[in-house]
Chains A and B, each alone.
Chain A
Amino acid sequence: MSTNNGKDTSSGYIGKSVKRVEDKRFTTGNGKYTDDIVLPHQTYASFVRSPYAHARIVNVDISAAKNMSGVVKIYTGADVAGVNGVPCGWQVNFKNGDTMKEPKHPLLVADKARHVGDAIAIVIAESQEQAVDAAEMIIVDYEELPCVVDGLKGAQAGAPLVHDDVPSNICYDWTLGNPIEEVNEAMSAAAHVTTLEFVNQRLIPNAIEPRCYNSSYDAFNDNYTLYTSNQAPHVIRLLMCAFVLGIPEHKVRVIAPDVGGGFGSKMFHYTEEALLTWCTRQIGRPIKWTSTRTEAFQLDAHGRDHITKAEMGFDNEGKIIALRVKTFANLGAYLSTFGSCVPTYLHGTLLQGLYTTPKINVDVTAVFTHTTPVDAYRGAGRPEATYLLERLVDLAALEMNVDPVELRFKNFIPPFDGVNQPGYQTQVALQYDSGNYKGVLEKGLDMLGYADLRNAQKESARNGKLLGIGFSTYIEACGIAPSAVVGSLGARAGLFEVGQVRVHPTGKVSVYTGSHSHGQGHETTFSQVVADKLGISMDDVEIVHGDTERVAFGMGTYGSRSLAVGGTAIIKSIEKIIEKGKKIAAHKLEANADDIEFASGKFTVKGTDKSVGFGDVALTAYVPHVYPKDLEPGLDFSSFYDPTNFTYPFGCHIAVVEVDKQTGKVELKRFVAVDDVGNIVNPMIVEGQIHGGVVQGIGQALFEGAEYDDNGQLTNASYMDYCMPRADDFPMIETGTQITPCPHNPLGVKGAGEAGAIGSTPAVVNAVIDALWSGGHKVKDIRMPLTSERVWRAMKN
């Protein structure tokens, strides 16, 4: 029996823009999100949250609320005082070797609120409305305390303390690269030093689906089920069971069904997940909490928020000879799950960029403030590093009056494929896998028509508009991550991935992956890979993810890792299946297993026309009446794949802007993105990722930013106040690709999820600065987002 009859499986899926199989359910309203799930005896939760950034909680009076109609139970900080807080997954040490400061992040606060939105009490009721009404009747007596919201001010002497036992609010200080003395010496010999002091502003992730959790406890079987809008359900189970609640993992099932976007913000273990799971055990009924949009603004871990001084030294030929960086990273009020590694190992390690800079030193001080915790957000540290480097290079070109393109060509690391030429060892711990950096810039310039634009720039200055061209040539470390490497850098977990491939007796295939899809299209891309490798139809492949009971283990989706790490784990299992299949085929064909080759869904005796189909072999494995003696029945393999290195996608983004001299309004005229993400399985999905990322990155450059006032109030916590980019803010994005395969994974893929958001931001800001210089305004920096007011003021000063 063959399941492949009549279907074209020979042409191959890899490299084709196959339409996304998941879109049918999403576009017809049939996606199943956590909030869609209503369990028998469901209850609903609402929180009492601090309106103050810093306040002592004098008293919490629940007497009126607890007798209200529909109220099931109310818990306050005192009730969970004995429960652990949520943990941090990455340990960074102080320069002197001391462990970073890890103040407790409690499920509910009892003593003090440390940021607006800190949870004081949870109300559980029969309906959502009753829970909200009762929460409003809880009277909290606060003693408001002074607060600090700025990372630099937070570390100054006399700043209000976020945690009494963290002196100067400093979580850690940290350094990487060459010894500072060597960098200082190199810098002092520089013919030109470009200095830039800037803010990489705080961003709010804004996933379209607000966070939602539904936790239930089955007293009869003593086990729990947590539905969660999360990117890494196994990680949540591990953190919640082992570090917060002390529940054996086999008693807890965590399911992340359809999830509507995350951008990093849904990979962290939030207090609400653990609290709901603790509460459901107490009341014996399922509890659901759905974040309001205001809560999403105030509580979903924010991104970026660095205050940096960076200096780049050049010799008299324009070669970069030194880079010195000092950054204050705002961590918010508590350490979020990966908050500690973002400004360090995901930021400092990327400061080589694409350049041969021989001496680099980066110094980071991570600071607690009375604000929402900060963690990974699309790019996570790498956008901050790219912004720093690319702004410096374009600004240096302006200051030295050389072409930014020429300056880059002069400083690029020469091409290397990682196979015939070794990888490139940076000054900041990483070893790049393969790259052809001048290639992407050359391609970008071709697409742009560079020379013509420079001529147009001269014309433009005469008629009221300033034309600017900005470049960004970026690199990122993706495919996170080789466990031994990250372990030596402080990660408290391995970052491998799991892929199980189960061939059913009929030759249909279920694939269980630890990667999680929340917009990435894994059900399509992974199916393409599996169908091609097994020579079957995509229709015969099912991708299962997001459920700890169905998938053995998984580290989840973030850091552009799904295909490079998760995909490779699946490939490893497919290799095992083919190897076993060959033995079964050899037995059936009365040949030696070494003489069997597998291609296009057929096991063939080399050099003959004797063959047996994949479906026949699958059936034989499950109905082993005629079967090799020394072989187990069944066709089902699982693999844990731990990558040997990060992957290093790179690219060139070029922005062309027009600045109105009268109003300062910036209009993005063109955007060229040439990305090298290694081999590509589905070009349409990769292009979609680039488009989305580019728009998110430009959102930071021109529109977005969390604004705290001096009292620690987030003043733009709604879509009326927080400016999101819209389609009509953009020209059509011109995309191009170059392919330099990754040498250390079988698909040769590098990852495309974050590239757009990493490369685009500095390109746009550089273009605006370039426009201003063309009009004689020698401005070094304008604080993002570049609103017309800020650009106008920059031209006036």
Chain B
Amino acid sequence: MQLTGKHVVNALPSKIWEMLMDTDTLARIVPGISRLEKTGENKYKSIIEIKMGPVNSSFTGDLQMEDIKEPEGFTLKVQQNSKIGNANAAIKISLLPVNENSTEVSFDGDVKLSGMLAAMGQRLIGGVSNTLTKQFFSNMEKELQSYVAP
């Protein structure tokens, strides 16, 4: 499944970059994260709760940032497991300055699903990913209001 989204936010790439690199802020931006724990350089362990139609599921696994080019972007490698199946993804996140005070944040990646998620969830996934994308950007807007560089 292809996962794409883009949104223009009123902030410079450098500020968004800082937010994404801050573990606590990142945890508030990514929808469904109930726990995010830094385990190493650019590596995290996560628990993500996602509601998919009638199914509420908890994913556990690793997130890893690769191909890091500050402040242009990075690739997020995702390996998440759950009772209803596993998800593997490589999502390229790009921060492109639009003008002096705004940035286009975009992501593009391929998600591989397995288990019950693949067997029965495909119908729902499109809708779920649209909802999560909206949440991701609205969370980012909200965080921007209050974010103060550490």
List A residues at the B interface (Cβ < 8 Å).
51-52, 116, 136, 144, 294, 297-298, 709, 711, 713-718, 720-721
Closest to B79 in A: A144
Contact B118 A720 (CB under 8 A): no
CA distance in complex: A715, B88 (Å): 16
Contact of A298 with B114 at beta-carbon distance under 8 Å, contacts A136-B83, A144-B88 already known: no
The answer to whether B132 has its CB under 8 Å from any CB of chain A is: no
User: How far in angstroms is the closest Cβ of chain B from A190?
Assistant: 46
Interface size class of B (residues with CB under 8 A): 10 to 19
Contact A718 B119 (CB under 8 A): yes
User: How far in angstroms is the closest Cβ of chain A from B79?
Assistant: 10
CA distance in complex: A720, B123 (Å): 9
- Interface of chain B, helix or strand or loop or mixed? mixed
The interface residues of chain A lying within 8 Å CB-to-CB of B115 are: 51, 116
CA distance in complex: A711, B88 (Å): 11
CA distance in complex: A136, B60 (Å): 14
Given B114, B120, B122, B123, which contacts A51 in the complex, CB threshold below 8 Å?
B114
Contact B123 A721 (CB under 8 A): yes
For this complex, 21 residue pairs linking A to B, each with C-beta atoms less than 8 Å apart, are: A51-B86, A51-B114, A51-B118, A52-B114, A116-B118, A116-B119, A294-B116, A294-B120, A709-B118, A711-B112, A711-B113, A713-B113, A713-B114, A714-B118, A715-B122, A716-B119, A718-B119, A718-B120, A720-B120, A721-B122, A721-B123
User: How far in angstroms is the closest Cβ of chain A from B86?
Assistant: 6
CA distance in complex: A116, B116 (Å): 10
User: How far in angstroms is the closest Cβ of chain A from B39?
Assistant: 17
The answer to whether B61 has its CB under 8 Å from any CB of chain A is: no
The answer to whether B32 has its CB under 8 Å from any CB of chain A is: no
Contact B123 A714 (CB under 8 A): no
CA distance in complex: A709, B86 (Å): 15
Contact of A713 with B119 at beta-carbon distance under 8 Å, contacts A51-B114, A136-B83 already known: yes
Contact B119 A294 (CB under 8 A): yes
Closest to B120 in A: A718
The interface residues of chain B lying within 8 Å CB-to-CB of A713 are: 113-114, 118-119
- Taken residue by residue from 95 to 120, chain B's Cβ proximity to chain A (1 for < 8 Å, 0 otherwise) reads as 00000000000000000111110111
The interface residues of chain B lying within 8 Å CB-to-CB of A720 are: 120, 123
The answer to whether B85 has its CB under 8 Å from any CB of chain A is: yes
Contact of A711 with B119 at beta-carbon distance under 8 Å, contacts A51-B85, A51-B86, A136-B83 already known: no
- Residue among B83, B112, B114 with the most chain A CB within 10 A? B114
The interface residues of chain A lying within 8 Å CB-to-CB of B113 are: 711, 713
User: How far in angstroms is the closest Cβ of chain B from A601?
Assistant: 58
The interface residues of chain A lying within 8 Å CB-to-CB of B88 are: 144
Contact B118 A711 (CB under 8 A): yes
CA distance in complex: A52, B88 (Å): 11
CA distance in complex: A52, B112 (Å): 10
Closest to A142 in B: B86
Closest to A719 in B: B120
The interface residues of chain A lying within 8 Å CB-to-CB of B114 are: 51-52, 116, 711, 713
User: How far in angstroms is the closest Cβ of chain A from B4?
Assistant: 18
CA distance in complex: A298, B122 (Å): 16
The interface residues of chain A lying within 8 Å CB-to-CB of B119 are: 116, 294, 297-298, 713-718
Beyond contacts A711-B118, A718-B120: 4 other A-B pairs, Cβ-Cβ < 8 A, are A51-B118, A136-B83, A298-B119, A714-B119
- Taken residue by residue from 71 to 105, chain B's Cβ proximity to chain A (1 for < 8 Å, 0 otherwise) reads as 00000000000010110100000000000000000
Contact B83 A721 (CB under 8 A): no
The interface residues of chain B lying within 8 Å CB-to-CB of A294 are: 116, 119-120
User: How far in angstroms is the closest Cβ of chain B from A169?
Assistant: 22
CA distance in complex: A715, B121 (Å): 8
The interface residues of chain B lying within 8 Å CB-to-CB of A721 are: 120, 122-123
Closest to B112 in A: A711
User: How far in angstroms is the closest Cβ of chain B from A115?
Assistant: 12
CA distance in complex: A116, B88 (Å): 16
The interface residues of chain B lying within 8 Å CB-to-CB of A717 are: 119-120
User: How far in angstroms is the closest Cβ of chain A from B33?
Assistant: 22
The interface residues of chain B lying within 8 Å CB-to-CB of A52 are: 114
The interface residues of chain A lying within 8 Å CB-to-CB of B122 are: 715, 721
- Taken residue by residue from 116 to 136, chain B's Cβ proximity to chain A (1 for < 8 Å, 0 otherwise) reads as 101110110000000000000
The interface residues of chain B lying within 8 Å CB-to-CB of A715 are: 118-119, 122
Closest to A294 in B: B119
The interface residues of chain A lying within 8 Å CB-to-CB of B85 are: 51
CA distance in complex: A52, B120 (Å): 15
CA distance in complex: A52, B116 (Å): 11
CA distance in complex: A285, B83 (Å): 29
The interface residues of chain A lying within 8 Å CB-to-CB of B118 are: 51, 116, 709, 711, 713-715
CA distance in complex: A51, B82 (Å): 11
CA distance in complex: A203, B122 (Å): 19
CA distance in complex: A116, B119 (Å): 10
Shortest beta-carbon contacts, A-B, top 3: A51-B115, A713-B118, A717-B119
The interface residues of chain A lying within 8 Å CB-to-CB of B86 are: 51
User: How far in angstroms is the closest Cβ of chain A from B88?
Assistant: 7
User: How far in angstroms is the closest Cβ of chain A from B67?
Assistant: 21
User: How far in angstroms is the closest Cβ of chain B from A65?
Assistant: 13
The interface residues of chain A lying within 8 Å CB-to-CB of B83 are: 136
The interface residues of chain B lying within 8 Å CB-to-CB of A116 are: 114-115, 118-119
- Residue among B83, B88, B118 with the most chain A CB within 10 A? B118
